[in-house]
Structure 1
């Protein structure tokens, strides 16, 4: 190499050497934080000296002896809310069904004619057991046709036709007694005969109106002596002289349909009274 080239590079080499020396000095002043592993070029980090060494037991912090131990807090016990008590719904007392009364009858055309009082009865608590109702029949004929009946009440309306023949009240009452005994009902309703506008009947000129009034009085007394019920279902429409108002009769003897309807209501009441009244007296 020429002499002038070596002379020009000396300052550069000197400067580079100064840099190397300075760098070495700085590196020597720094602490070793890593150890070089030969042949790998990988640096393994060294654990910080402030952390616990491997294998040392970890200290468990202890509580201060002066600090009171905490008392566990118990949740307050909540009383269960009682279920509301439902009052039982009262069961309504059923209305007792009225016991049906059975009745039977013994009569003439006043009982057996079309639309008679007996045929117009419509009380659902009264049940007919059948009976005898013969147009134009006397009490003797009614007796001959009567028979035992399973009935609570016997209704007797007889005697009108006996007056046509002039038969005595005594014979009529005797036949009625026999009818009641023959039928055998528990109770008896003895009814008055209907009014009459006939005052001169047949050649004998029998006053059926007057004789009817006499018979009705005797029927009432007879019922009293027998413990029977007497009813005059015609009384509200009977004239004071014992005859029919013209608007209540079709022929001076037999009632109109409307009149028979009124009588049917009264007879239904009489049947109930006879049965219930007898029960009350017995009790």
Structure 2
């Protein structure tokens, strides 16, 4: 083979190798393994799709009292996450948003739509009080969260006692309840087990802001009852082999 022919063959080889590399999937395009609590995304940007057992589809929005400490709810459910105790036996947790330390305004900016939600449970406001925000500062953000999720039913939960500013928390609470009632949403106070006037009852809190793990469990049972009450019926327990939602791109959503 003369030098000119050899050069042409080498050039063709380089081009073929380059094209093959270009067709390979980029690392970010590879399918990702879904862990517990992960929510698959539908083709429509920002719309989450989650599995269904045929039960009541519940989305949640909140702060550390929902996320379980100074973390994101999307990191997974823990023993200090109330939805851990509310889900199952006819209730499907299908997503939402919760972050430790976040205000209602921050949650409204971060939350994304979730498809086919039966009940939205929204519990937030403690961090607004902590930062000196009034309910008037936050009211529009409650509306924004409800408009984003577009659930069939909306349950707004009372915030717990706040030992560092009990009177401010009680005032925020009273205005929140009035606002929720005027909107026609459902207001519920799941914190009866933890209240001693405007502060936490002895033994029910770890820091005057968050409940104990046993408190999170009690909170989960209370909010589960609120969901069942607002829907008006107890759905049958999930059955083995129940169908799951399928994302619009044809891939199966995973939990």
Alignment TM class, shorter chain as reference: 0.5 to 0.7
Ranges in structure 2 where 5+ consecutive residues have no aligned partner: 1-52, 69-77, 234-255
Q: Which residue of 1 aligns with 2:59?
A: 104
Q: Which residue of 2 aligns with 1:221?
A: 178
Secondary structure at 2:89 match in 1:
coil
Structure 1 CA distance for aligned equivalents of residues 121 and 105 of structure 2: 16
Shift in Å, 1:245: 1.7
Q: Is the 8 A contact 2:135 2:172 kept in 1?
A: yes
Root-mean-square deviation over aligned CA pairs = 1.6
Matches within 5 A, 1:43-192: 100-113=55-68, 114=78, 115-150=80-115, 151-192=117-158
- Larger RCO (alpha carbons 8 Å, 6+ apart): 2
Q: Which residue of 2 aligns with 1:204?
A: none
Which digits, 9 at most, give the CA deviation of each residue in 1:98-157, with x for residues without a partner? 951001011000000142212232432000111101000011110111111121010111
Q: 1:249 aligns with which of 200, 205, 212?
A: 205
Structure 2 CA distance for aligned equivalents of residues 122 and 276 of structure 1: 17
After TM superposition, the runs of 4+ consecutive aligned structure 1 residues lying more than 3 A away are none
Which digits, 9 at most, give the CA deviation of each residue in 1:131-185, with x for residues without a partner? 1010000111101111111210101111110111111111222110111011111
Higher CA-based Rg: 1
Which digits, 9 at most, give the CA deviation of each residue in 1:197-229, with x for residues without a partner? 11xxxxxxxxx2111111111121111111111
Secondary structure at 1:120 match in 2:
helix
Q: Is the 8 A contact 1:157 1:193 kept in 2?
A: yes
Structure 1 CA distance for aligned equivalents of residues 138 and 195 of structure 2: 22
Q: Is the 8 A contact 1:191 1:232 kept in 2?
A: yes
Secondary structure at 2:232 match in 1:
helix
Secondary structure at 1:273 match in 2:
helix
1:211 aligns with 2:168: yes
Q: How many aligned positions are there?
A: 170
Structure 2 CA distance for aligned equivalents of residues 186 and 121 of structure 1: 18
Shift in Å, 1:187: 0.8
Q: Is the 8 A contact 2:87 2:93 kept in 1?
A: no
Structure 2 CA distance for aligned equivalents of residues 135 and 197 of structure 1: 18
Q: Is the 8 A contact 2:83 2:93 kept in 1?
A: no
Matches within 5 A, 1:25-44: none
1:264 aligns with 2:229: no
Structure 1 CA distance for aligned equivalents of residues 87 and 134 of structure 2: 35
Structure 2 CA distance for aligned equivalents of residues 273 and 217 of structure 1: 22
